[in-house]
Structure formats: C-alpha cells, structure tokens
Homo-oligomer: A and B are copies of this chain.
Amino acid sequence: MDKDEMTTHQKIRYVQDTLFVISGKWKLPILIAISQGSSRFREIQRNVPFITTKVLSKELKDLEINKLVSRTVSEDSSVRIEYKVSPYCKSLAPLVDEMIIWAVNHRRKISEE
C-alpha cells in the first residue's frame, strides 16, 4: 500500500510500530556503532558513550531477538564473541540518515533564535 492512500489512523499505527522497534535511548546508537565496525562487546561500549554494561547487554539481546544483530562465538585458540548487524538491519539506513539530517538542521534552527 502506498502511504498516500493511507488514513490518518493507518499512518499513526505504522509510525507507532517503527517507534516501538527503535524506541529507547540506545538501540540506534548501538546499531550505528556496530555497523561502523565495532564488533566486540567492549569495543561497542567504548564507541557508545556513557552506556553501561548492563544496558548494553540487555539491548544487544533485544536486537538479537529482533534479528537486527547476530552474535557469534568463534573459537580459535581463545573464545571470541562477535556482534554483526544483519543484512535486514541495513533497511534502517534511510531512516537513520533522515534522523541525522533532521538533527543537524534542528540544531541550526534552535541556535539561530
């Protein structure tokens, strides 16, 4: 269905669906960090400022459940745990880009008054 044919109620339902999946302070930041190359737990933590281990651990599990992130254990000489974004996760890219663009603009708007 095209969005131009949707009723107000339908649009609202869809937007609430998306908000539900990406809701919270940390999910998108974590996805950004992983997709930019962080794969180890501590590495992700270093690249997502101020997140605590408890929250990171919980959010990674959520993202795994939602199939946006994969967790693999590789065993060569010692154990290595690696997180990767799934191919499906990349479908969020246009949305994330729009959010960045909007925030840049918003900051300009706020500062000019």
Contact = CB atoms under 8 A, between A and B. Distances in A.
Interface string A71-99: 00000000000000000100110111111
B95 A18 contact: no
Interface residues of A, number: 44
Stoichiometry, as copies per complex, reads: 2
A113 to B, nearest CB: 9
A28 interface: yes
Given A16-B25, A18-B102, A18-B103, 11 more contacts: A3-B101, A3-B104, A8-B36, A8-B47, A12-B29, A12-B33, A18-B100, A21-B106, A23-B23, A88-B109, A94-B98
Interface of A: 1, 3, 6, 8-9, 11-12, 14-19, 21-23, 25, 28-29, 32-33, 36, 38, 47-49, 88, 91-92, 94-107, 109
